[in-house]
Structure 1
Amino acid sequence: MLALVLLVALPCTMVRARPSLNYLEEPYATEPTQAGSEEVRSDAIKRLLEVFGMDDPPVAVTHRRKQPPQYMLDLYNTVADVDGVTKDPYLLEGNTVRSFFDKLRSEQVEFRFNLSTVARTEKILTAELHLFKLRPQATLVLNRHHFCQVSVYQLLDTSKSNNTQERKLLSSRLIPIHSNGWEVFTITQAVRSWTVDEGSNLGLHVVVRTLGGSPMDLKLIRFASGRNHHQSKQPMLVLFTDDGRRRSTTPESADPDNAQDTAILPQFPMASHESPRSARSLDQAWEEEGASMPCQRLPLYVDFEEIGWSGWIVSPRGYNAYHCKGSCPFPLGQNMKPTNHATVQSIINALKLIKSIETPCCVPDKLYSINLLYFDDDENVVLKQYNDMVAGSCGCH
């Protein structure tokens, strides 16, 4: 099944919905050896990791997994449907979102985040500091102040010749004193400098002042810390990046007018969460009819638990990649969505003008992206979008 996923976009590939690995055996071998099967599986997993832009799968943390930040869960549900298929390719900035928890866990309003998992080749689009503001203590509620000025500074290394200041202002704004909940500050400039020079990452410092500029009582303005408060309120850095992977080249995925199509896909009589046996039965029934059915889309469910990835993937548990199967007989009707090239090839084949020319192939003509929400090796939660992962429809090409 794993190797089949890798071949789903190749033309004229006639495969079962969920085959065993046996179909890769030598033509004259009666039974694959156990070592051979393990080698095939290992190679298939390696190739699948390449599709997902990884060298190795993150270490499974099921026995000690933290709860993903609610922000990341909400973001995933905003951009993806229940199967992970992208609702609208223009909702997400870039194709990767990472969340980092504070590493200092200090009682002071200072924070530091380990960004070692961010590749230097990634383009930093936006970086946000998320702080949870707690309610002021009851004894201080009658304070005459109603707003405060909250400023976020980047700590600088004064030992370097070009730095004469200890900190640099990144973001500053007014916040109601009696409010509570998440406050978000843009710190993109600092994160860009940290990814260029990892040693310059000395952290962030938050300063709270009255409107007159005097220091504010920190008992009145309190932000949750990683040390004393629940994980759901911990300080967090959210980073939006683009890793440079190519965008989908299909016209439909590049056209904003067709963006709504992704919100309702995939549509098929068998939903993606149905039993793998049902998928096999449907495909086998198709074969028993002598491959006489025209080009169409059939189910191809990718189960991450079966692959062994459920330990680090949060959502989805699997998705329906679909595959294209069927004949492209002459004459090609418009319902088969033929290209002009396919039409000409079909005519040449029908007239037997050239013996070696086959009929056109049944292949995906519309592809959609999926989203993966997962834990990396540092237990940071990552949302990543992968292009060309779902066959939206099929045609004769």
Structure 2
Amino acid sequence: SSTSRSILLHFRFSRELAGSTEILQATLYLFWAAPSPGAQPVTVRLLQPDPAGLNATVSSETRLEVQSSGWTTLDVGAAVRSLFGQGTPQLTVELEVPEDWESPLPADHSDSHWPFVVAQAQARTPHRVHRRGVDCSGNSRMCCLREFFVDFKEIGWEDWIIQPEGYHMNYCAGLCPLHMAGIPGLAASFHTAVLKKNTAARPAAAVDSSCVPTQRRPLSLLYYDRDSNIVKTDIPDMIVDSCGCT
């Protein structure tokens, strides 16, 4: 919604999310259309609704100088945390522009250039994940899950990946003795062990046991494509959650 000098942006969250989630950080993304010649001031206000939801007060105000077309980011973590603390499912942002300047936002309402908020969050009451594999201790030599974090900035990908800043890809490493082959699956492991001990069947059953991932999950990625469009995709099997012996 808008008036002659201001534009109101409303970002809505589900009430279930607002009531059960802790916000770690949040960023507002704005794409400026080509402005008039010279720098143009834009005032960005984050509005805080009252408990009744009828009126709103200004919780923060930032003045930006827009000089060219492109994306601008603004930290809104404190505002979103405050809203979630009250169970409020809506963030309202007001953009105040000069009288002689039209809307700084794209006129074509393209989804790829429309304002959005990226938030990193966690459940207030996290549940324990029961892994079928074993996490590695400092001196473990058996097959186990080793945590490994990839920082996109360190590999030079931060200029096109928006979120996340990195992720725990993890990997499997360690020894797989015969009695562990097929874990979990005790029958399979003893079958392999007995078969290996049988000299008559050994040539036909010469199968090595390896430490491999037994459970994976996808990685959600938000990034810019070649035309500066925002793309969200889920890449399968990028995060290793547990390991076992083949």
Given the two structures, how large is their TM-score scaled by the length of structure 1? 0.34
**Which residue does 1:217 correspond to in 2?**
100
Find out whether 1:298 has 2:211 as its counterpart.
yes
Higher relative contact order (CA 8 A, sep 6+): 1
Q: How far apart are 1:157 and its partner, in Å? A: 3.9
Q: How far apart are 1:241 and its partner, in Å? A: 1.3
How has the CA–CA distance of structure 1 residues 159 and 262 changed in structure 2, closer, same or farther, with 3 Å as cutoff? closer
Q: How far apart are 1:127 and its partner, in Å? A: 1.8
Task: Pick the aligned partner of 1:389 from 236, 241, 245.
Answer: 241
Q: How far apart are 1:151 and its partner, in Å? A: 1.8
**Which residue does 1:315 correspond to in 2?**
234
Which structure shows the higher helix fraction? 1
Residues 1-397 of structure 1 aligned to structure 2 (within 5 Å): 109-116=7-14, 117-118=16-17, 120-136=19-35, 140-141=36-37, 145-157=38-50, 166-177=56-67, 179-198=68-87, 201=90, 203-208=92-97, 215-219=98-102, 222-224=104-106, 228-243=108-123, 244-245=125-126, 251=137, 261-262=148-149, 266=171, 288-290=195-197, 297-300=210-213, 314-318=233-237, 370=239, 389-391=241-243
Q: Which runs of 4+ in 1 moved over 6 A?
A: 104-108
Residue by residue over 1:256-311, the C-alpha shift from the partner in whole angstroms, topping out at 9 and shown as x without a partner, is xxx9955585378xxxxxxxxxxxxxx9x966535999x9643355588xxxxxxx
Cα distance in 1 for partners of 2:148, 2:78 equals 36
Q: Percent identity?
A: 18
Query: 3-state DSSP class of the match of 2:112?
Result: helix
Cα distance in 1 for partners of 2:241, 2:39 equals 51
How has the CA–CA distance of structure 1 residues 302 and 112 changed in structure 2, closer, same or farther, with 3 Å as cutoff? same
**Which residue does 1:341 correspond to in 2?**
none
Q: How far apart are 1:131 and its partner, in Å? A: 1.0
How has the CA–CA distance of structure 1 residues 297 and 218 changed in structure 2, closer, same or farther, with 3 Å as cutoff? farther
Q: How far apart are 1:183 and its partner, in Å? A: 1.1
Q: How far apart are 1:128 and its partner, in Å? A: 1.6
Residue by residue over 1:147-193, the C-alpha shift from the partner in whole angstroms, topping out at 9 and shown as x without a partner, is 42432221534967xx9x7431424133232x121111122233223
Q: How far apart are 1:115 and its partner, in Å? A: 1.2
Given the two structures, how large is their TM-score scaled by the length of structure 2? 0.51
**Which residue does 1:66 correspond to in 2?**
none
Give 5+ residue unaligned stretches, structure 1: 1-103, 209-214, 253-258, 269-282, 305-312, 320-369, 371-387
Residue by residue over 1:8-31, the C-alpha shift from the partner in whole angstroms, topping out at 9 and shown as x without a partner, is xxxxxxxxxxxxxxxxxxxxxxxx
Cα distance in 1 for partners of 2:233, 2:137 equals 31
Cα distance in 2 for partners of 1:159, 1:260 equals 47
Q: Is the 8 A contact 2:41 2:65 kept in 1?
A: yes
Q: Is the 8 A contact 2:46 2:79 kept in 1?
A: no
Q: Could you tell me which amino acid in structure 2 is paired with residue 204 of structure 1?
A: V
Cα distance in 1 for partners of 2:117, 2:51 equals 24
How has the CA–CA distance of structure 1 residues 148 and 234 changed in structure 2, closer, same or farther, with 3 Å as cutoff? same
Q: Is the 8 A contact 1:157 1:202 kept in 2?
A: no
Q: Could you tell me which amino acid in structure 2 is paired with residue 180 of structure 1?
A: S
Which structure shows the higher strand fraction? 2
Q: Is the 8 A contact 1:156 1:200 kept in 2?
A: no
Q: Between Structure 1 and Structure 2, how many residues are aligned?
A: 176
Cα distance in 2 for partners of 1:200, 1:298 equals 45
Q: How far apart are 1:132 and its partner, in Å? A: 0.8
How has the CA–CA distance of structure 1 residues 197 and 318 changed in structure 2, closer, same or farther, with 3 Å as cutoff? same
How has the CA–CA distance of structure 1 residues 266 and 192 changed in structure 2, closer, same or farther, with 3 Å as cutoff? closer
How has the CA–CA distance of structure 1 residues 216 and 289 changed in structure 2, closer, same or farther, with 3 Å as cutoff? farther
Query: 3-state DSSP class of the match of 1:135?
Result: coil
Q: How far apart are 1:217 and its partner, in Å? A: 3.0
Q: Could you tell me which amino acid in structure 2 is paired with residue 389 of structure 1?
A: D
Q: Is the 8 A contact 2:10 2:92 kept in 1?
A: yes
Q: Is the 8 A contact 1:157 1:200 kept in 2?
A: no
Cα distance in 2 for partners of 1:266, 1:105 equals 51
Cα distance in 2 for partners of 1:204, 1:266 equals 42
Q: Could you tell me which amino acid in structure 2 is paired with residue 123 of structure 1?
A: E
Give 5+ residue unaligned stretches, structure 2: 139-145, 151-168, 174-188, 218-231
Cα distance in 2 for partners of 1:234, 1:184 equals 13
Q: Is the 8 A contact 1:150 1:174 kept in 2?
A: yes
